């Protein structure tokens, strides 16, 4: 069983002139599969169909992507598939080719072994020294230029924490390295405005669909200090409570457990 497909064929190599490799000229989605099905598939495809025109890239047939993903997920109880759409090869330096031939790269990854303990016990996070650039033309998109997140992940690794909270250059709280945030402030669940940075997450989209009491507003360092609980959410891990932030112990809000149960029911329906 192949672990990766390139343009539908088993392969684990891309040409050296692939524009995704050279310039980060790509979009990607990371999709959780349970028993061959992806409960959040429609939300992933909605984001991809929104973001591809922003990068002036043609959108591949979602049906084709679904068939290729099912091929990779066949025989797996749980797995993660990364769908990467690059602009292909060609062009002159930054200038893309006049005729775009996108390249589809699909990679199957094993299910994270430490996910359930972190969902149950919570994660340790710190405030990252890396600040996200504000005012990006592609704010909210899952594009391939992720060097800020790479640097934040390396700082987190060296600090011995599981995740990091990122602010933008203007001092607004934005997101975690690989997920969106929900804070509980004065017993109110609130998620930060992305502003001109960050990624509009599929997991957060799902949460908004089941939790009408979730509000969005600009948040800063003082709001973070006032938060009694913090949660990180993404489309693979679901909701993970933060048990410690910069060494400060936090509580697990009861809503976190309720949302986790809703998440589990969503994925149990895929079995």
Class of domain 116-268: alpha beta
Model confidence band, residue 1 (pLDDT cutoffs 50, 70, 90): low
Average pLDDT, the chain: 94
Model confidence band, residue 136 (pLDDT cutoffs 50, 70, 90): confident
- Fold (topology level) of 4-111: D-amino Acid Aminotransferase; Chain A, domain 1 (3.30.470)
pLDDT in tens, 181-240: 999 999 999 999 987 888 989 999 999 999 989 999 999 999 999 999 999 999 999 999
Domain with CATH 3.20.10.10 in the chain: 116-268
Between the alpha carbon of residue 5 and those of residues 20, 45, 55, 138, the distances in Å are 16, 19, 23, 27
**196 contacts: CB under 8 Å, gap ≥ 6:** 133, 134, 135, 136, 139, 168
Domain with CATH 3.30.470.10 in the chain: 4-111
pLDDT in tens, 139-164: 888 999 999 999 999 999 999 999 99
Q: Which two tokens stand for residue 143?
A: 């594009």
């Amino acid at each position: 069983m192949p672990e990766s497909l390139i343009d539908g064929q088993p392969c684990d190599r891309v040409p050296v002139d692939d524009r995704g490799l050279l310039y980060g000229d790509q979009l990607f989605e990371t999709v959780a599969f349970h028993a061959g099905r992806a409960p959040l598939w429609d939300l992933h495809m909605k984001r991809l169909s929104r973001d591809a025109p922003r990068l002036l890239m043609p959108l591949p047939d979602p049906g084709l992507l679904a068939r290729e993903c099912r091929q990779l997920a066949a025989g797996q109880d749980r797995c993660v598939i990364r769908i990467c759409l690059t602009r292909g090869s060609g062009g002159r330096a930054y200038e893309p080719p006049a005729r775009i031939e996108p390249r589809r790269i699909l990679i199957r990854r094993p299910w994270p072994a430490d996910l359930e303990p972190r969902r149950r016990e919570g994660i340790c996070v710190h405030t990252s020294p890396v600040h996200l650039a504000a005012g990006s033309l592609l704010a909210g998109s899952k594009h391939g230029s992720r060097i800020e997140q790479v640097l934040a992940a390396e700082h987190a690794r060296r600090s011995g924490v599981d995740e990091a909270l990122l602010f933008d250059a203007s001092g607004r709280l934005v997101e975690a390295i690989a997920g969106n945030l929900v804070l509980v402030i004065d017993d109110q669940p609130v998620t930060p405005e992305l502003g001109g940075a960050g990624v509009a997450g599929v997991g957060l989209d799902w949460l908004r669909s089941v939790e009408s009491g979730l509000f969005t507003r600009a948040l800063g360092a003082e709001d973070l200090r006032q938060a009694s609980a913090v949660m990180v959410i993404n489309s693979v891990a679901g909701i993970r409570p933060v048990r410690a932030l910069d060494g400060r112990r936090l509580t697990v809000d009861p809503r976190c457990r309720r949302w986790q149960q809703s998440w589990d029911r969503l994925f149990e329906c895929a079995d």
